[in-house]
Structure 1
Amino acid sequence: MYGVRDVFVCAGCGAELTVPVVRVPLPAGAHLSYGHDVMPPLMAPGTYAVDPEPSGPPFGQWEELGEAEAAARGLFAPVYPVSFGARGRVVVAPGDVRGTRLIPEHSGNSCLGMCVGERPSMACAGCGALVASRVDDCGLWQAVWIEPDAVRRVPTGCPAQDREFEPLPPLDPGGGWSDVWQDATGAALAHLLVASGGAPLALPDGLLTEVFGAPLDALLPPGPPPLRVGLAGPGLPDDGLDIALVPYDRDTGGPWRPTGGAVPVALPDGVWAHLALPGETRPIPASGTLPDGVLRDDYPLPDHPWYRFRPNHQAFRATLARCPEAREPWLRALFDRGF
């Protein structure tokens, strides 16, 4: 349940296996890989997410599925490999796990750490039941994936903290573009295409155009009449928008619903907040005050990587493959071609 804290306990002996955690949407890059880099934790402390689709081993090939079986698995375009694993796996940050012991020999074919293998690599310390898999190999988000049939979710009755939108900068600590931003915008790009119906999209000047402009220009035809895309959410108007980039709704886990009828496309809270909310207007101490509505013009230029921002193509394809509209010829052609 969204908005309240839960504890996951062993289905066999009832031992607590996590601290109290609150459910959030599954990050777009949960199952992606990133070369040879050491990755940070996928989940923020005190949160968990549920993957509604099959994930983990065993794996098969797309060609083994018929159209009906693929659709039953939520797939409407080719994905390689196809997971034949369980639905509903729960992912938490490694630091939020309690009462388990590690079984390193159950790790899969890993490089510098552990990854999901044929058998779970974490056991309940109380009864020895296999309950979860630790992931910390290079190129993979650090996470613990809990087997859905091995645990029970126990609501604590304690509500989560009041929601605060904390902007997440688009740069990572090393000065490159943030993986979270690239994953989130790759997934959002797929939903923007679906919402467009194949019509051109008009973006406002600024960071939205820098993020989405080039791939949309490559994917959609030019020419009027374009559909208007903008930002909406708590405290923001959405009048005149055809498609609105919004945060997730805390109560439902789905996109926040605009009041003006725009089609919503969700972004993670931190990405949405950086795009939508006003930032600091006086980064350098100054004497006196400025009139309301007047911003300083002596900001230092923000850090900016030497290379152009690109939404993550893996996240784009993985998201579009799970949209039923991907079976339409024009979208299938874009799925196959990419940007």
Structure 2
Amino acid sequence: MIVFGCARCGAELTVPVSRVALPAHAHQRYGHELLPALMESGTYAVDPEPFGPPWRLWSEVGAEGAAARGVFAPVPALSFGAPGAVVVAPGDVRGTVLIPERCDGYCLGLDGRDGPNLACARCGRAVATRVDDCTFWQTVWLAPEAVQPLTTDGSARPADWEALTRESEAIPPVEPGGWWDPRWEAAVGVALAHLLAASEGVPVDVPEGLLAETFGRALDILLPAEGAQRKMAALAGPGLSPPGPAPDIALVPRHPGTGETWQPPPGIAHAVPLAADVWLHLAFHAERSPLPLSGDILRDEPPPPRSHSLFRPDSRILLAALARLPAVREPWLRAIYDRVNAYPYRRPF
């Protein structure tokens, strides 16, 4: 466990928290209502990318300057804030006060547009940015240059893949109201970027079922319909028995604690990381037909909710992930990026 404190005066700014992987939906914008906290209480994650202002337009930075910062396709603007921001749940923050002149927002709360809006209550140094406006997951981002760990949580722990299937929770894809869960839309958006890159521009097939419902439609629309060869993508990971011949591309879990990607056995050319809570549902929670209790009596358990719309990967998340893949400089993948960027609400989005 770690307690983060002010780098100037040493005041405690958080409760004890343990590190987990940065969620795929950390920078997602969704809907026009208040969303819950991004992080579970007692956890923190680190964003390796630059965070917050100052911002510079793509035209000012240029392609070479952007590539040096790990961005390989045009984006509206690049953050020149410090990398390594620490995100925690708002309820885990202690000893801070709002900075009134930095409390702008779009609608119902704070969106962090002006940079750090929380100051250390003891010494007054700006230490964090609270975001709680509509469309944003509620967060507090601790500025890496303004905070420091006051305690340590020991050496890094390796990913426990056996415990993943026992202890981690899967997220159902559809909410009770019939809407697709936005965390699925974000997780599929990230994985789809890597899956497109791994396709090398040829058609990709996926098994029927929920995997086809979430990935298949986008692959069919964004990749060529015909080709001299086709690739197969399928799930692989701890606890799964190979269904048949090894796929060309394996969708594997990204460990929720360490962020490590499960490594498939030899013979699989590409491993595409997928958020573990989504992967777990795809791997172990397939929809089941009613099962008999005895004789001809069937269970009357309600079926899982079905969505009343086609699945739509998050186009913003897809574009952000694609822009950070060097493969997007390939003409065929850049054409997909430009197409989605120009029409982010066209099928399949």
Which bracket does the TM-score occupy, shorter chain normalised? 0.7 to 0.9
Answering whether residue 253 of structure 2 is matched by residue 253 of structure 1, we say: no
Shift of residue 12, structure 1, vs aligned partner:
1.6
Equivalent-residue separation in structure 2 for 1:315 and 1:41 (angstroms): 18
Aligned to 2:305: 303
Cα distance per residue 1:284-327 (max 9 Å; x no partner): 89358x9xxxxx79765432122101111111111001101111
Answering whether residue 42 of structure 2 is matched by residue 46 of structure 1, we say: yes
Q: Which moved more, 1:215-224 or 1:297-306?
A: 297-306
Q: Which moved more, 1:296-305 or 1:256-265?
A: 296-305
Two-structure CA RMSD over aligned residues (Å): 2.7
Distance 1:235 1:135, change over 3 A: same
Aligned to 1:101: 97
Shift of residue 281, structure 1, vs aligned partner:
6.6
Equivalent-residue separation in structure 1 for 2:31 and 2:207 (angstroms): 34
Of 106, 118, 121, the residue aligned with 2:117 is: 121
Aligned to 2:189: 186
Answering whether residue 325 of structure 2 is matched by residue 329 of structure 1, we say: no
1:29 partner SS: coil
Equivalent-residue separation in structure 2 for 1:333 and 1:94 (angstroms): 40
Of 201, 204, 212, the residue aligned with 1:201 is: 204
Cα distance per residue 1:243-301 (max 9 Å; x no partner): 1111113675231111234322112221111101146979889358x9xxxxx797654
2:234 partner SS: strand
Cα distance per residue 1:16-75 (max 9 Å; x no partner): 222222222222332232242211111222222211111211222111112221012211
Cα distance per residue 1:50-108 (max 9 Å; x no partner): 11111211222111112221012211011113222221111111112122222343123
Equivalent-residue separation in structure 2 for 1:108 and 1:51 (angstroms): 23
Aligned to 1:293: none
Cα distance per residue 1:155-203 (max 9 Å; x no partner): 2349989652211001234331111000110111110001111122121
What is the letter of the counterpart of residue 215 of structure 1? A
Answering whether residue 216 of structure 2 is matched by residue 213 of structure 1, we say: yes
Equivalent-residue separation in structure 1 for 2:45 and 2:238 (angstroms): 23
Equivalent-residue separation in structure 2 for 1:285 and 1:146 (angstroms): 53
Equivalent-residue separation in structure 2 for 1:57 and 1:104 (angstroms): 18
What is the letter of the counterpart of residue 275 of structure 1? L
Q: Which moved more, 1:148-157 or 1:63-72?
A: 148-157
Aligned to 1:23: 19
1:258-337 residue pairs with structure 2 within 5 A? Answer: 258-262=264-268, 263-278=270-285, 286-287=293-294, 300-337=302-339
Q: Is 2:20–2:257's contact at 8 Å kept on the other side of the alignment?
A: no
Distance 1:16 1:107, change over 3 A: same
Q: Which moved more, 1:327-336 or 1:119-128?
A: 119-128
What is the letter of the counterpart of residue 272 of structure 1? W
Q: Is 1:104–1:114's contact at 8 Å kept on the other side of the alignment?
A: no
Q: Which moved more, 1:95-104 or 1:248-257?
A: 248-257
1:66 partner SS: helix
Q: Where in structure 1 are there 5+ consecutive unaligned residues?
A: 291-295
What is the letter of the counterpart of residue 150 of structure 1? A
Aligned to 1:81: 77
What is the letter of the counterpart of residue 308 of structure 1? L
Answering whether residue 39 of structure 2 is matched by residue 37 of structure 1, we say: no
Distance 1:223 1:299, change over 3 A: farther
Q: Is 1:136–1:143's contact at 8 Å kept on the other side of the alignment?
A: yes
Aligned to 2:232: 228
Q: Is 1:58–1:118's contact at 8 Å kept on the other side of the alignment?
A: no
Distance 1:284 1:129, change over 3 A: farther
Answering whether residue 130 of structure 2 is matched by residue 134 of structure 1, we say: yes
2:338 partner SS: helix
Equivalent-residue separation in structure 1 for 2:18 and 2:65 (angstroms): 33
TM-score normalized by the length of structure 2:
0.86
**Identity within the alignment, %:** 54
Equivalent-residue separation in structure 2 for 1:250 and 1:32 (angstroms): 18
Q: Where in structure 2 are there 5+ consecutive unaligned residues?
A: 341-347
What is the letter of the counterpart of residue 274 of structure 1? H
Q: Which moved more, 1:56-65 or 1:209-218?
A: 56-65
Q: Is 1:76–1:322's contact at 8 Å kept on the other side of the alignment?
A: yes
Aligned to 2:345: none
Equivalent-residue separation in structure 2 for 1:36 and 1:278 (angstroms): 30
TM-score normalized by the length of structure 1:
0.88
